[in-house]
Amino acid sequence: MNWIEPFISISPFISNCTNLQSLDLSNNSLTGPIPTELQYLVNLVVLKLSSNHISGTIPLSIAMCVCLNVIDLHDNDLNRTIPAQVGSLVWLLVFDVSNNKLSGPIPVSLGNRTGQMISKRLSVVAILGIGLGSGLVSLILSFTVVIKRSKLMNEGSSPSFAHNQI
């Protein structure tokens, strides 16, 4: 008997869970797109859909989830570009879209967030390995700043970026 793995997608009815604060569906062999109905999860703080087979684009409506702290979409089949609206999520601490099929430049709104981490609170960005072209250089520099900030915070001193070329 041949076992055929079922194709399971995220139901748009997830939007009925309006008080949901954390959604972790990582490592579930999910397929299909990220439903735009996620925009109705206005209390969502953590969104983890990593290590699935999710395809399509990152929906623009994800920015409607204004409480998001974590967006973890790594190891999927997402394509096209990163929506600029992601940079408007003021509470966003972690944004990981590594190992997808994304292309195009890193949105300026997200690049600006990584350059102003202390005031805008973005502390971890993982966008490596998706062929973003010339915009990648800016992100790597910003990611380096994250590492320097973490080292300084672990040593118990105030963060200082003096004498750097950021």
Overall pTM > 0.85: no
Q: Domain residue spans in the chain?
A: 8-154
Q: What is the pLDDT of residues 14-66, one digit of tens each?
A: 999 999 999 999 999 999 999 999 999 999 999 999 999 999 999 999 999 99
Higher-confidence residue: 135 or 109? 109
Q: How far is CA 122 from CA 10, 82, 105, 131, 139, in A?
A: 27, 16, 19, 22, 12
Per-residue pLDDT tens digits for 80-97: 999 999 989 989 988 889
- CATH: 1.10.420.10, 3.20.20.70, 3.80.10.10, 3.40.30.10. Which one for 8-154? 3.80.10.10
Question: Residue 119, SS3?
Answer: helix
